[in-house]
Structure 1
Amino acid sequence: MKIQKIVSGVICTTLLFTGLAGCGSKSTTQNTEKPESLSFWYYEEDDSGQAQAWHKAAEIFEKKTGVKINFEKKSFTQIAQNGSQFLNSDEAPDLMESNRGNGSAGVLSTMGLLTDLGPYVEQYGWDSKVQGANAAVAKYDENGVMNGDTWYGMTSYAEFQRVYYNQDLFDKYGLKIPTTLQEFEDVCDAFLAQGVTPIAADAQEYGVLWLWWQLVSQKADQKFMDAWHLYKGDIDWNSGALTYATDKINDWIKKGYISKNATGMKAEDTTQAFIKGEYPIYQTGTWNQGRFAKQVKNFNWTAHVLPESKFAEGCAGNLLVIPERSKNHDLSAQFIDTVLSDEVQNYLGNAGGIPVAGQLESITDEKSKDMIAEYDSFAKDGKLSYYPDYPASSLTDAIPAALQELVNGTADAHQTLQSIRDAYDSGIKEMGIK
């Protein structure tokens, strides 16, 4: 059964009440005259490497074509929860940043809301630049499952979860950056002994979720990842990876490695707290590395994937998609091609991002080179674990909610894992996958 069969039916009902165009409508009359600007919806922080690169591409694009890029910043939630409604209306932008994964871009593709980029991939040769694991999240099959055969988006950067360390706080207490998980826990104990909460992690959004999945990524194998993301076989919910990670998070909460205040914190709260030097340890996405490079002024920092991880949690970055209702398909594709140019990709690398088509020898920033090399060390061997909410759209809210109960102390590790299992099973059932 296709994802579209159930999900699009629900959204169509919503659209009937909002007065928007009928579901699956493809009113795509193209402009015959060159527009003054293209509208581009995005939700990245402007200091992130990818946002800086998109603005750089816009400068080059305008000089070349005379067409401006009108950046319109939205929130992740706005696009995740309401994007389908806007894309199915005359309000659809020319370009949009879309989350990748079966429950996001996959669903939109089955609803006929995204342009098939195959002709542009062939025209510009994008498939020679974006390959392997980086291409997998941009292509979907007829059921909306990633790593399919149709390009519905194009990524321009990659990302993964790294543990960022405040080197000055480590030096202050005579501690070394850990290289094993036991050393990681030892330094957490040492910070606690000094009255310092070690780990910044928000539970109101995705921080604890990402930490939990990175712990899963310490124990999981490829068979587990294929079952989780691609529905290849059944998930063993009593597997060591899932029980280990859930028990470990529970243990860290009880010990105080993660503050109970996490339940009231969002991602921006923890990011700002790390930038201010309030926490020694912060696992976050590399989209924040550009911010740290610009905004951290009063301490030194370093970063690595959580020690002993078999997989790096991450993948190619969010997709640039062209809504089917965009009236400027060709120009929008030309902008994407500008983003994938050597000039912009190398600029991205030096701005704290991970280019998917850059040249490492052209990256001069040492921290950026280290990050790119670490990503490549996992990506080249297919050791990227993606993110745990990709299999179903409902998991983006359901997994953090279950883990928040764990942080609150209103659910134990067993109950938390059972809640995640229930959400996973119901989520993929609602999408018509199984």
Structure 2
Amino acid sequence: MLNLRAGVAVVAAVVALAACGGTEPAAQSPAAGGPRVLKLWHYEAADSAMGKAWTEAVKQFEASHPGVTVKFEEKAFEQIRQSAGMILNSDEAPDVMEYNKGNATAGLLSKQGLLTDLTPEVTRRGWDKLLSPSLQTTARYDERGVMGSGKWFGVPNYAEYVMVYYNKDAFKKAGVEVPTTFEEFTEVLDTFAKKGTTPIAMGGAEYPAQHIFYQLALSKAQRPWVDAFQLYKGKVDFKGPEFTYAADTFADWVKKGYIGKDSAAVKAEDMGVSFIGGKYPILISGSWWYGRFVSDVKDFEWGSFLWPGDTMSAGSSGNVWVVPENAKNKDLAYDFIDITMKKEIQNLLGNSGGIPVAADTAAITDAKSKELIENFNTLSSSDRLAFYPDWPAPGYYDVLVSGLQNLVNGSKSSAEVLDELAAPYQENLADLGN
């Protein structure tokens, strides 16, 4: 899950790409005298940690590949999420693309035969040696499109997790400290609400509300529940204590003013901008915002902490590089991925506010970046990464957005929303033969 960026319309993008180069077959030379073009798509902002690192990777790629040009197009997260299947099933597929990991996204496309099996390249180039077993989970998918085993259809080159960002100046003014327990966290929220300040910046129109809902569920969960929900290694009761507590508490937070009643229509970008502008003292979201806040927050001191009291936390490897089956320059795509895995690029990513997977730890000198990476290592080393709630079933992202909007608006009860979430999940299990 990454921060959203406005992109051109999909139809316009496809038309524009049709006019670009890159018509040669994969791993073959273009027509006599014609230049080769690597078509690259991702949805990271230029000022994000990944954006900075991948811009440098493009420079190094072009320097090491004379006569090859990179045709980069920044896409919106929503644009790729909604239209990837259609575009990758056409002749206009890019050569390499950032794509969301998980059963509902990369897993689904792998099952549909739209992604290239990267296993031979992973072994040949040693990418598997750079990624821990937990980070490999989201790179490999079986014949059902279920993550965790099978062939490699993606390669992550960064990691991510959900945390609580906070405005240090606002905390000091309100007389509150960084909480170490969930009870202390709710006391902080209550203090701000009673002072007339909505404490949590939230984007109910996109993924941010899901992070809060899932963290609340995880506060009552252990690894077996996560594996049952995400990997189908057991039964999931949507009226059980985990999801019931999450739905009831989320609705209660809206009633108490911890979450704005007008946040159902707010997009993730607007949520982030509101925190940057000092409107809200707390933002609960992913590490992909870290570099952005380093660059853009000018008027107050800020920090971050792990969700207090939880055994588990939303997080995983970052999104993955995928090579579409219809890519025309697969050899170039493999070379580009390889450059993003090199220590120089990984070190840049780490010092820019990202979480690298293969950096030289001694080369990470930025204090905030060290804090970010250390918190991730705390989660990763103790098996506390719980993935994301929209992963289990195709289309589940939209189901969660709609359900949580209903909780914010008060248009449905917690029980009704949980029924709404359970139905497509159970249908997907039936489709898988579980």
TM-score, length of structure 2 as denominator length: 0.91
**8 Å Cα contact 1:115-1:323 kept in structure 2:** yes
Aligned to 2:48: 48
2:70 corresponds to: 69
- Structure 1 contact 152–321 (Cα < 8 Å) conserved: yes
Given residue 32 of structure 1, which amino acid in structure 2 is its aligned partner? S
Q: Would you say how many aligned residue pairs link Structure 1 and Structure 2?
A: 407
Secondary structure, aligned partner of 2:365: coil
Corresponding position of 1:57: 57
Per-residue deviation, 1:28 = 5.8
> C-alpha displacement at 1:29, in angstroms?
4.9
Shift of 1:325: 1.2
1:366 corresponding residue in structure 2:
367
> Structure 1 residues 427 and 408 mapped into 2: Cα distance closer, same or farther (>3 Å)?
farther
Counting aligned pairs with the same residue, the percent is: 43
Contact 1:395 1:427 in 2 (8 A): no
Is residue 2:292 matched to residue 1:291?
yes
Cα distance in structure 1, aligned partners of 2:325 and 2:43:
20
1:86 touches 1:92 (CA, 8 Å); kept in 2?
yes
How big is the alpha-carbon RMSD for the aligned residues of Structure 1 and Structure 2?
1.5
Distance, in Å, in 2 between the alignment partners of 1:109 and 1:97 is 14
Q: What is aligned with 2:331?
A: 330
Is it true that 1:32 corresponds to 2:29 in the alignment? yes
- What does residue 221 of structure 2 align with? 220
Q: Is the 8 A contact 1:274 1:282 kept in 2?
A: yes
Superposition pairs for residues 25-424 of structure 1, below 5 Å?
29-33=26-30, 35-66=35-66, 67-424=68-425
* Structure 1 position 420, deviation (Å): 1.2
CA apart distance, 1:118: 1.1
The SS at the match of 2:98 is strand
Q: What is the CA deviation profile of residues 14-73 of structure 1, one whole-angstrom value per residue up to 9, with x for unaligned ones? A: xxxxxxxxxxxxx96543248443111111222221121111111111111123322111
Helix, strand or coil for the counterpart of 1:196? coil
Which amino acid is 1:210 matched to? Answer: H
Q: State the distance in 2 between where 1:423 and 1:365 align.
A: 44
* Counterpart-to-counterpart distance in 2, 1:141 and 1:172: 52
TM-score, normalised relative to structure 1: 0.91
Question: Shift in Å at residue 179 of structure 1?
Answer: 1.3
Q: Which amino acid aligns with 2:46?
A: D
* Moved >6 Å (runs of 4+): none
- Shift of residue 81 of structure 1? 1.7
SS of alignment partner, residue 162 of structure 1: strand
SS at match of 1:165: strand
Structure 2 residue runs without a partner (length 5+):
1-23
Task: Write the distance in 1 (CA, Å) between the matches of 2:25 and 2:429.
Answer: 31
Segments of structure 1 that go 5 or more residues without pairing to the other structure are 1-26
Letter of the 1:232 partner, please give it. K
Alpha carbons 1:399, 1:423 under 8 Å: kept: no
Secondary structure at 2:40's aligned position in 1? Answer: strand
Query: Which residue identity is paired with 1:141?
Result: D
